[in-house]
A and B are shown apart, each in its own frame.
Chain A
Amino acid sequence: MLGVKAYNSFGMSEMCGPGVAFECPEQNGMHIWEDYYIVEIVNPDTLEPVPDGEVGELVLTTLKREAMPLLRYRTRDLTRILPGECPCGRHHLRLDRMKGRSDDMIILKGVNIFPIQIETILMQFQELASDYLITLETVDDNDAMTVDVEMKDLFIDDYAKLQALTREITRQLRDEILITPRVRLVPKNTLPKSEGKAVRVVDTRKKY
């Protein structure tokens, strides 16, 4: 619209902000300043390095920082090193566009949300068991969140009380994450178990 060619850039507050890596005119990956950072891509579960071209978590070490050097800093950003030389002639290696986060941060309506924030609220309700499931959906082109929560065995035979409980959970979640989720009570043992790698977030949103 403005006739401006846009270049992708990568950075983070902990590493001097934007400009850790930049696209060259080839616009095929972002050259990272290897004279300033040691770059490693590791498997976020095993922490073993992955071969070039394979997606993993970006780990950076600063070489020149004095006040706050960061050694093997896990960025939680998922990307890969693009193999081969860049036709532009620069030798600094190229990072692919970020594929996501290795932790489970949710970005909903532009707000960053961590499941732990939701979990902390839910744990305060003695009526609830420990399992929950966050579902992210696209509803009328908008992000929407549903939180399914398991009730304990203790069962309330009272619509008004169950609805009041649902409303109170909704209110506390909204105060914490600034978004109003839809809260659904579900019976015990109907959600994935918390042992091992429980699926806590299901994202079915449309990708644009």
Chain B
Amino acid sequence: MTVHQLSVFIENKSGALVRVLRLLKQENIQLIASTIADTADFGIFRIICSEPEKACNVLKEAGVAVSLCEVFAVELDDRPGQAADAIAIFASEGISISYLYSFLLNGKGVLIFRTDNAEKAAEVIASNGLSVIEEKDLSRLL
């Protein structure tokens, strides 16, 4: 019920982002979703992509500060209110969302998020019958 996400430390400096993207391009790795927040001096560039392990190694070898982690990927119908209902379930169970971003994939909405309690989040997802995306689903959809 989780997918791999790359978390890349990006300096707030011209060219820092493009360097990472070019390294991925050279290896023909495709971005599926990504997000970066603005802070004063640095950002964390979070990426869902094809071949995440390979992507992580490529970046590491190039000296980029990167880590590979697991995030939840919940699939929703592309209708208003779906995200609200899904997140309400976690809120009612007392699970905090550390960060969240979303994208559309083949007509379905996908919520990517990380929580402060992965084990409990997994239970909640299972017991509420939420539809999740696995790593292999992503590669199939590409």
Contact = CB atoms under 8 A, between A and B. Distances in A.
Interface in A163-192: 163, 166, 184-190
B66 interface: yes
Contacts of B46: 157
B98 interface: yes
Contacts of A188: 63, 65
Contacts of B65: 151, 153, 155, 187-188
Given A159-B37, A162-B42, A187 B11 contact: yes
Contacts of A189: 63
Contacts of A153: 60, 65
Contacts of A186: 11, 42
Give the bracket for the number of chain A residues in contact with chain B: 10 to 19
B41 interface: yes
Contacts of A187: 9, 11, 63-65
B37 A151 contact: no
Give the bracket for the number of chain B residues in contact with chain A: 10 to 19
A159 B64 CA distance: 17
A155 B42 contact: no
Given A151-B9, A155-B7, A184 B69 contact: no
A187 B67 CA distance: 13
Contacts of A159: 37, 39, 44
A184 B42 contact: yes
A190 B42 contact: no
Contacts of B67: 155, 157
Interface of B: 7, 9, 11, 37, 39, 41-42, 44, 46, 60, 63-67, 69, 98
Given A159-B37, A187-B64, 18 more contacts: A151-B9, A155-B7, A155-B65, A155-B66, A157-B7, A157-B44, A157-B46, A157-B67, A158-B98, A159-B44, A162-B42, A162-B44, A184-B41, A185-B9, A185-B41, A186-B11, A188-B63, A188-B65
16 contacts: A153-B65, A155-B66, A157-B7, A157-B44, A157-B69, A158-B98, A159-B39, A162-B42, A163-B39, A166-B41, A184-B42, A185-B9, A186-B42, A187-B11, A187-B63, A190-B11
